[in-house]
Amino acid sequence: MTDQTPLIEVKNLTMAYGDFIIQKDITFSVIKGSILTIMGESGCGKSTLLRHLTGLKSPAAGNIFFSGTDFWHCSHKTQVQLLQRCGVLYQSGALWSSMSIGENIALPLRQFTKLSQDEIHDLVELKLALVGLKGFSDYLPAAISGGMRKRAGLARAIALDPDILFFDEPSAGLDPISSSMLDDLILELRDSLGATVIIVTHELPSIFALADDSIFLDTESRTMLATGDPKILATESDSIKVRKFLSRNSSSFKNGAHSS
Amino acid sequence: MNKECSLTTSQEDNILCLRFSGSWTIRDKQCQQLDLNKILLGKIQGLTFNTTDLTKWDSRMLVTLVNVIQTANAKSIPVHEEGLPAGIRNLLQLTRKKVLTPPQNRTNNAGFFTFIGLQSSIFVKQVLQHLAFTGKIFLSYMRFYSGQARFLKRDLSYFLFDCGPKALPIVTLIAFLVGFTLAFIGAVQLQMFGADIFVANLVGLTMVREMGPMMAAIIMAGRTGAAFAAQLGTMQVNEEIDALQTMGLNPFDFLVLPRMTALVIMMPMLAVWADLVGILGGFFIGVFSLDISPNLYFQQTVKAIHLNHFMVGIIKSFFFGYIIAFCGCLKGMSCGRSADAVGKSTTSAVVSSIVFIVIADALFTFFFNLIGI
């Protein structure tokens, strides 16, 4: 993991819904095998940025490169190939509710590989065991708890052994213990799969536990305020807003942000 | 203990003092309101508060204070809050803090012409959306025929079963009653001419050409079209469709294709079944109420209906199936991301499919009339 070549590069990205610009001029890169967190206040466009990175929404301007390939300016076939290198864990898990947990994980394997039923079955069991859900294969998503659904979603995200993993607020709605267990799981999976991880979150414990690198999106200036290791940013960032975000200093944060 | 709340004023050197006393909570009786505009007139150069007799307060008092302070501010009268309890002062401070500014709502306070313009642009957008959806369906079927479409065979068989056999009981009931009613109404009129036997023609032709396909379609719009919209809408809310897309699976092939195929295959079959059951309903009236012999009724029906008439019904119901699946899937796939949006898209799927079915039916009737079938 000492390879310093960027796996994902975002250049001058502008995101907009119609005329409404959410964020502009976002530029950053993610080094292979590292964990990047996308931070910012609620509503600053973190999840929208994730939708751009996972091919759900096209940028208003700018480019996104996956190992040098411009995602939004290449053929549909290449896009699908690139997407298959990615795994995404959605905020709610987004398991397909009409299928059992096992079938959810098996679906990408059935569609994109030529493995036999037995091999797929074994793989599903393995992925479930990796996320600590051994024996839950026949349960429907509605029958398990929120935390378990996230784990099952994670098992599905890693079904095709992706080299890029995206997480949309993994700890949202989880108690502190479950969420720190999920953080540990993310770290272990990163280390063992050698994956590159991008996490959208505003949970400070997760940010400090996981991130090698981070970017901070600002609602007011509609652009990126800072980039770097959050542990360093917390004390040394040029932006008072970033320092306060990372030290959870909300009262002075608001005063600082709105002083005239 | 709880004294009734009261608000009195006193004035000294052009400084108005508002004296709050008693208990000011939302559970207390209504207390007298001051006409602020009258009190804060002209010469007053300052506003102070006295709360030494205040026993209890909550947001009731806060609301009153906010009004007073706003009125005073509007008249540029300086307000001295020192006399208020510290808790209230803090809360007032909090209400004044501008944390977030809501984005400008462009449709708010729009004039009549803006409204017309917005509505027309929404209409144009919807037309374009329908066209785009048709194009996507076409492309999806191209992939289906070239064997590139990825979907679950299990889904297809599930929807075939759901749109066919599972819908039979309700289609049977409705079609039987429609045939029954047609025969009853027809019989009353035809009896006047002694032409009872032509009830068989009336029921047979109406069921096969019009009512069979139409009733089956309306039932399926309410039953299956709504279900499609609700299923896809909920998947949209739960990010399940996003999950398919990021996995490189085309949600269109995966979700719309099996639903549409199943309904288009099953709709003509349901229509033919509805035709037959409707004729049976008419037969029931003819034989038991008009005393036509069963054999004669049967002969007369067979004489009245040609294969062409069946074909008219079958062609129609094929298109009705397409319309229902189209509306259901379109509304589901374009659903917003809230529970409310799912409800709206379900309703709109049913309404628009019924509207389109009736329009299509009228066009077909006109067209078949033109070519003389």
Topology adopted by domain A6-85+162-258: Rossmann fold (3.40.50)
Rounded Cα gap, residues A106 and A95, in angstroms: 12
SS3 assignment, position B23:
strand
- Strand arrangement, sheet containing A20-31: A20-31, A6-17, A61-66, A69-70
Facing B239 at nearest CB: one of A92, A108, A111? A92
Domain limits of chain A? 6-85+162-258, 96-160
Biggest distance spanned by C-alpha atoms of chain A:
66
State the pLDDT at residue B108. Answer: 59
CB contact under 8 A, B240 and A97: yes
ipTM of model: 0.71
Q: DSSP 3-state helix, strand, coil percentages of chain A (rounded to 5)?
A: 40, 25, 35
Nearest Cα neighbor of A243 from A211, A218, A209 is: A218
Backbone φ and ψ for A153, nearest 5 degrees, come out as: -60, -40
Q: Which residues of B touch A253 (CB under 8 A)?
A: none
> Rounded to an integer, what distance in angstroms lies between the CA atom of residue B340 and that of residue B236?
13
Q: What is d(CA B225, CA B169) in angstroms, rounded to the nearest whole number?
A: 17
Q: Which of B98, B238, B248 has its CB closest to that of A97?
A: B238
Q: Which of B307, B211, B219 minimizes the C-alpha distance to B263?
A: B219
Is A83 within 8 Å of B247 when comparing Cβ atoms?
A: yes
Q: Which residues of A touch B (CB under 8 A)?
A: 20, 51, 54-56, 80-81, 83-84, 86, 88, 90-92, 94-97, 107-108, 111-112, 156, 254, 258
The amino acid at residue B71 is T
Tell me if residue A66 falls in helix, strand or coil: strand
To the nearest whole number, what is the mean pLDDT of chain B? 89
* Residue of B94, B148, B150, B246 best to disrupt the A interface, most CBs of A under 10 A: B246
Closest alpha carbon to A28 in A51, A49, A3:
A49
Distance (Å, rounded) from C-alpha A51 to C-alpha B277? Answer: 52
Most confidently modeled range among A1-15, A118-132, A221-235, B189-203:
B189-203
Using the predicted structure, report yes or no on whether residue A252 has a pLDDT greater than 50: no
H and E: helices and strands count for chain B: 15, 3
Phi, psi of A29 (to 5 degrees): -140, 155
Alpha-carbon span A138 to A152, nearest angstrom: 12
According to the model, what pLDDT value does residue B81 have? 87
Cβ–Cβ pairs < 8 A, chains A and B: 55
B234: distance to nearest CA of chain A, Å?
Answer: 10
Residues of B with CB under 8 A from a CB of A: 97-99, 103, 150, 152, 234-235, 238-240, 242-249
Q: pLDDT per residue over B314-340, tens digit each?
A: 999 999 999 999 999 999 999 988 888
Model pLDDT, residue A258: 41
Alpha-carbon Rg for chain A in angstroms: 19
Pick from A255-259, B16-20, B237-241, B275-279: least confident: A255-259
Q: Contact, B83 vs B51, CB < 8 A?
A: yes
CB atoms within 10 A of CB A134: 11
Residue A114, classed as helix, strand or coil, is: coil
The confidence band for B111, taking pLDDT boundaries of 50, 70 and 90, is: confident
Q: How far does the CA of residue B84 sit from the closest CA of chain A (Å)?
A: 23
Angstroms from B129 CA to nearest CA on chain A: 16
Please tell me the distance from the alpha carbon of residue A23 to that of residue A10, in angstroms, as a whole number.
13
Give the C-alpha separation, A42 to A47, whole Å: 9
- Report domain extents, chain B: 6-96, 125-370
Q: Which of B97, B150, B238 sits opposite A92 (nearest CB)?
A: B238
Query: CA A50 to CA A6: how far, in whole Å?
Result: 18
pLDDT at site B211: 94
In tens, the pLDDT along A122-174 reads 888 888 888 888 888 888 888 888 888 888 998 899 888 888 999 998 888 78
Fold of B6-96: Transcription Regulator spoIIAA (3.30.750)
- Chain A residue closest to B99 (CA)? A254
